[in-house]
Amino acid sequence: MKQFVLVVLALFCANVLAAQKEDKDWALYSRYAPANDTVTVAPKAVFMGNSITENWLKFHPEFFQKNNYAARGISGQTTYHMLARFHNDVVALNPKVVVILSGINDIARNQGIISLENIMGNLISMCDIARANGIVPILCSLLPTDSFSWREDLAPAPLVVEMNKLIKGYADANGLVYVDYYTDMADANGALKEGLSPDRCHPYPDVYTGMEEKVVAAINKVLKVKNKSKQYKLITK
Q: State the pLDDT at residue 22.
A: 56
* DSSP symbols for 30-96: TSSHHHHHT--S--SEEEEESHHHHHHHHH-HHHHHHHTEEEEE-TT--HHHHHHTHHHHTGGG--S
Among residues 19, 49, 14, 12, the alpha carbon closest in space to that of 202 is found at 49
Cβ count near 220 (within 10 Å): 16
Give the pLDDT of residue 149.
Answer: 86
Mean pLDDT on 15-33: 72
Rounded to whole angstroms, the Cα distance separating 74 from 140 reads 16
Residues 40-47 have a mean pLDDT of 98
Q: 198-222: per-residue pLDDT in tens?
A: 888 899 999 999 999 999 999 999 9
CA angle 139, 145, 148 (to 5 degrees): 115
How much is the pTM?
Answer: 0.86
90, 134 Cβ separation under 8 angstroms: no
Task: Read off the pLDDT of residues 64-90 as tens digits, 9 standing for 90 and up.
Answer: 999 999 999 999 999 999 999 999 999
Which residue in 115, 79, 92 sits closest to 70, CA to CA? 92
Q: Are 161 and 188 in contact (CB under 8 A)?
A: no
Report pLDDT for 199. Answer: 85
φ, ψ at 162 (rounded to 5°): -65, -40
Burial class (CB within 10 angstroms; exposed 0-12, middle 13-18, buried 19+) of 195: exposed
Instruction: Please state, in angstroms and rounded to a whole number, the distance separating the CA atoms of residues 30 and 40.
Output: 19
| Among candidate residues 190, 128, 135, 203, the one with its CA nearest the CA of residue 159 | 190
Any idea which of 42-51, 146-155, 180-189, 225-234 has the lowest mean pLDDT? 225-234
Q: What pLDDT, on a 0 to 100 scale, did the predictor assign at position 126?
A: 98
E strand or H helix at 131: helix 116-132
What whole-number distance in Å separates Cα of residue 13 and Cα of residue 8? 9
Average pLDDT, whole number, for the chain?
88
Burial class (CB in 10 A: 0-12, 13-18, 19+), 226: exposed
The rounded percent of the chain whose pLDDT value lies above 90 is: 79
Burial of 139 (0-12, 13-18, 19+ CB in 10 A): buried
6 vs 100 pLDDT, higher one: 100
- Portion of the chain with pLDDT greater than 70, in percent: 86
